[in-house]
Structure 1
């Protein structure tokens, strides 16, 4: 009799579901890809019980199961632990909201209703609460190819902690140290992103902006309210005011009013971002060095939203003591659904029953056959052609300057499009960044696009001092080989680095073949790759892809083995085109 474990994340945001059957991962899916709401839902005090029902049902559909077949639901939060440990916070709050007795009671009581919600949906098995940070840690350690590793989970907040240092050995994760709220790098980045005129979800914009600044200008300002030691850090909550929308202490500290979203960026904003990035890198390097001293392990596993900082990741790996590194591709809260399921599995089937688990790719969501795609194409009344050699044709189009939507195989799990739900373009064109933003992305031109590079060519094009598995998931930023920079200007950031994806033939043969065909034409084994979306979650279904293609100025859509050309699918052309196809 098989053991079926459904992992669920929903307490804050990035709601997701993951399904394990006898320790084999069947699917991991983010709710936002299904409900088309960014981050699935806002992180509010009154909605932690809003379940990722669409993602859950899609996982079960892929496995041909119903919820009544599931033996265990593992939820990546422990509300009773939150109630026990979060009662004595004294930083400023908004009445009835986070950190207040009434707000915390509402939050935890809503969470405690989750098991009954599952019962009403037809679930009959056991329900397990898994501590948030332990779920992050499990999501990083168990999928890694190491049986002994140091583990660092670092994000905004779980129940109470923002950092967990742990040691993983085979089936066991042993906590070593935690750092608790209000000492939170994740929350620091959220607050600073809003101070700089963005949303709390825009850490990537701040990280990009940092490359244009001088960290020395505001280093002392940050150090005045953030104390750093070799194994810890402390943030003054009366300066940062995490729980209220008050920026007066920051405005006084930096001598700069909070930027409004429509105001131009100034050099001061870039310098503040640079100082924040430098401080983050220093803290992460200190913590990982301390973790190495505690564990003696040669490998490091990372998870939590802060682990998506690809700039810091390269520094802590290349300048730190570890020989190997693994970063959970869905390092944000979405990955905790996988972590909760794995933590539960190994706590039941550990010891003598231990079997290693390794996650070699992120293509864990729904996929669609050509038959299913063709049915959708005909239903939407679009013009298309079927190609036996779509990789060769698309490589040629990209080399001619066309922007192509590339929709193939199973959807990625995590925030990065890694060649199955991607927009692709020629990295040799220096004007491609502005063109991509004008065509579809509608984002700031200072933000870089990323390159996908053939794994076998990566070392020739990028300065990689230590090869990292994380570079297969766009989680490491490497300097470009100076001799190659002029050949791929569209993917080189102002600081001379790229957040790369090494593409393996074994894990994504079709995408690898496409880049190989582009290399045959151009001599360049690199494509510009960005997520297939337009200010919305990354496309999931054929319908999502086709509709995004039609409403934007993307030149072509390669979906399965079908190719759609924009000029054949303009309003007024479709009826005649479909009649000709029929």
Structure 2
């Protein structure tokens, strides 16, 4: 059975074609339109999917979409928002005034510079009017209750409008593509649970989903076995850890749904104990559940950000996210006795949270779906509806996008007048360049599906030099608080990372952090964060021989089995897709070399 899955159209719209539980093709519209997190009907990705698989819309048996109709979604969240009114009314928050005053006395003087911040204790400087409004709408009970309820009401109105708008867009886009049949709609969190479980290869697992909003929920726990998924619990919206984290992202001056990773990086520099308990006191935790007071009130995090260092605000939110999520999951691990966790949903893009989940007593195995955000829901829906039953081996890679021929690559190089060679031993040549301090971009094979570059659309450099985090990000126009992530030979995993057993497969997709060994800290300081962790990609030869061989050749020269792998794109652009994209980003980013297909290109005007 051939199923076309289309992810939610409100952001990062993505197409997947799945046949009998096998993903034939999956790619986001952003890679073709070149607009990050492209919304709307994914026309270009659909065209590419059909061309790549050699199918037409007549060959498709079913089209799936991972949201219910707008009327059913509205019914669910309207009831939730009514329930929220009663909760806010009954909740007795602690008096914030003395808590804040006391917390301010515990902020230390800091002078160790943090790259990307004007001062280590920088706060969000706001004018008097803004600050006054934040302290009223964020911290004074009557005003903050009203602000929270108003925000929920506005959210509901905007969500209804959004669901109606995208529903029309979906219908029109499918009609234009030649699909006249019905669309199979499904519960949003079930599509998240399906992608993580059905791609994990596990016979039995606890599926945990955590995100902003989907079909009345902000998260769920399900028991899954033999291809069947049975929900045990749903976290009712607006009790959303996704919304909580979006709030702090925007309150610290970053873009929600895009820059949450910067908050994870910043958090390691701060002290979570300064604000952690204040934040926790606003979350009612009960065994296997929780509720967040004034969940939609963004002014509370803005109030904190206007008074406290950004790093301490980030640290508190990261701490609370980890604490609340692990308490929630721990209960269900103990209740079911299941030692295997599979994760999906936008919140599980938080690699530090995933490490904490793996560290829960009783958890022995973990898998995180590589495209954990809403962009992955199309595959979840299509997998669920095409699943033939039983257990399949886990997905071995995320290389599910388009591939380009040698002729297409040559054409792109010739169009820019670039000279290139075809080395007999490309991997050895690339390893030698990297060992000698050159930055090499790699473009080869099928494009990665999901937010991470995993070697086929990557920029590579050695990890011996911590300063690379500044100068290479500058060349690429990026500001990051996390170091670059390493790619490590699968065989060297225990030499480089502690406590990796049971999480090896998750680590093939760069979805979880680990504490680094002394060897890793000493030999690859550029890939180790200030807290001693790294977010590796483990690479096996059978998954990607060309990429793996570069690493083995580099290890022969250096004795080090890891390199830096960062995504091949310019700042605020999606990861490159076509040879033309690759050539343009290579020239713009002033990278030293481009290994593209079988060819090696030296930059005509190298940066050094």
Superposed CA RMSD: 2.0
| Distance in structure 1 (CA, Å) of the matches to 2:209 and 2:567 | 26
Look up the SS of the partner of 2:47 in the other structure: helix
Q: What's the counterpart of residue 250 of structure 1?
A: 301
| Distance in structure 2 (CA, Å) of the matches to 1:484 and 1:69 | 50
Q: What's the counterpart of residue 274 of structure 1?
A: 315
CA 1:398–1:465 in structure 2 vs 1: closer, same or farther (change >3 Å)?
Answer: closer
Superposition pairs of residues 338-353 of structure 1, within 5 angstroms: 338-346=379-387, 349-350=388-389
| Distance in structure 2 (CA, Å) of the matches to 1:217 and 1:95 | 29
Are 1:81 and 2:132 matched, yes or no? no
Structure 1 residue 120: Cα displacement: 3.2
Structure 1 residue 478: Cα displacement: 1.2
Structure 1 residue 458: Cα displacement: 1.4
Look up the SS of the partner of 2:214 in the other structure: coil
Which stretches in structure 2 are left out of the alignment for 5+ residues?
86-147
| Distance in structure 2 (CA, Å) of the matches to 1:22 and 1:430 | 46
Q: What's the counterpart of residue 577 of structure 1?
A: none
Superposition pairs of residues 61-140 of structure 1, within 5 angstroms: 61-79=51-69, 80-88=71-79, 89=81, 91-93=148-150, 98-100=155-157, 103-113=158-168, 114-140=170-196
Structure 1 residue 274: Cα displacement: 1.2
| Distance in structure 1 (CA, Å) of the matches to 2:285 and 2:204 | 28
Q: What's the counterpart of residue 22 of structure 1?
A: 20
Contact 2:6–2:14 (CA<8 Å) still a contact in 1?
yes
| Distance in structure 2 (CA, Å) of the matches to 1:104 and 1:284 | 25
Are 1:56 and 2:46 matched, yes or no? yes
Q: What's the counterpart of residue 428 of structure 1?
A: 464
Contact 1:170–1:356 (CA<8 Å) still a contact in 2?
no
Q: Report which stretch shifted further, 60-69 or 543-552.
A: 60-69
Q: 2:535 aligns with which of 486, 496, 499?
A: 499
Structure 1 residue 121: Cα displacement: 2.1
Count of aligned residue pairs for this structure pair: 536
Structure 1 residue 251: Cα displacement: 4.3
Look up the SS of the partner of 1:435 in the other structure: helix
TM-score (structure 2 length as normaliser): 0.84
1:294-348 deviation digits (Å, cap 9, x = unpaired): 43323111000111111121122123312211110111111101101011113xx
Structure 1 residue 126: Cα displacement: 4.0
Q: 2:574 aligns with which of 531, 537, 546?
A: 537
Q: 2:339 aligns with which of 295, 298, 301?
A: 298
CA 1:549–1:75 in structure 2 vs 1: closer, same or farther (change >3 Å)?
Answer: same
1:408-453 deviation digits (Å, cap 9, x = unpaired): 1111111111111101111012221112112224223x32111100
Contact 1:162–1:186 (CA<8 Å) still a contact in 2?
yes
Contact 1:10–1:52 (CA<8 Å) still a contact in 2?
no
CA 1:291–1:95 in structure 2 vs 1: closer, same or farther (change >3 Å)?
Answer: closer
Q: 1:467 aligns with which of 489, 492, 502?
A: 502
Superposition pairs of residues 261-340 of structure 1, within 5 angstroms: 268-340=309-381
Look up the SS of the partner of 1:166 in the other structure: strand
| Distance in structure 2 (CA, Å) of the matches to 1:483 and 1:106 | 54
| Distance in structure 1 (CA, Å) of the matches to 2:229 and 2:316 | 34
Structure 1 residue 518: Cα displacement: 0.4
Q: What's the counterpart of residue 108 of structure 2?
A: none
CA 1:112–1:533 in structure 2 vs 1: closer, same or farther (change >3 Å)?
Answer: closer
1:471-490 deviation digits (Å, cap 9, x = unpaired): 11111211221244222111
1:75-112 deviation digits (Å, cap 9, x = unpaired): 11112430221224255446995312xx4443333344
Q: What's the counterpart of residue 401 of structure 2?
A: 365
| Distance in structure 2 (CA, Å) of the matches to 1:154 and 1:86 | 16
Contact 1:71–1:124 (CA<8 Å) still a contact in 2?
no
Look up the SS of the partner of 2:78 in the other structure: coil
Which stretches in structure 1 are left out of the alignment for 5+ residues?
42-49, 259-266, 571-582
Look up the SS of the partner of 2:604 in the other structure: helix
Contact 1:382–1:569 (CA<8 Å) still a contact in 2?
no
Are 1:479 and 2:536 matched, yes or no? no
Q: 1:549 aligns with which of 559, 578, 586?
A: 586
Look up the SS of the partner of 1:241 in the other structure: coil
Superposition pairs of residues 86-235 of structure 1, within 5 angstroms: 86-88=77-79, 89=81, 91-93=148-150, 98-100=155-157, 103-113=158-168, 114-200=170-256, 201-235=258-292
Contact 2:364–2:502 (CA<8 Å) still a contact in 1?
no
Contact 2:8–2:377 (CA<8 Å) still a contact in 1?
no
Look up the SS of the partner of 1:334 in the other structure: helix
Look up the SS of the partner of 2:442 in the other structure: strand
| Distance in structure 2 (CA, Å) of the matches to 1:228 and 1:193 | 23
1:528-553 deviation digits (Å, cap 9, x = unpaired): 11000111100011000000111121
Q: Report which stretch shifted further, 91-100 or 497-506.
A: 91-100
Contact 1:383–1:568 (CA<8 Å) still a contact in 2?
no
Structure 1 residue 220: Cα displacement: 2.0
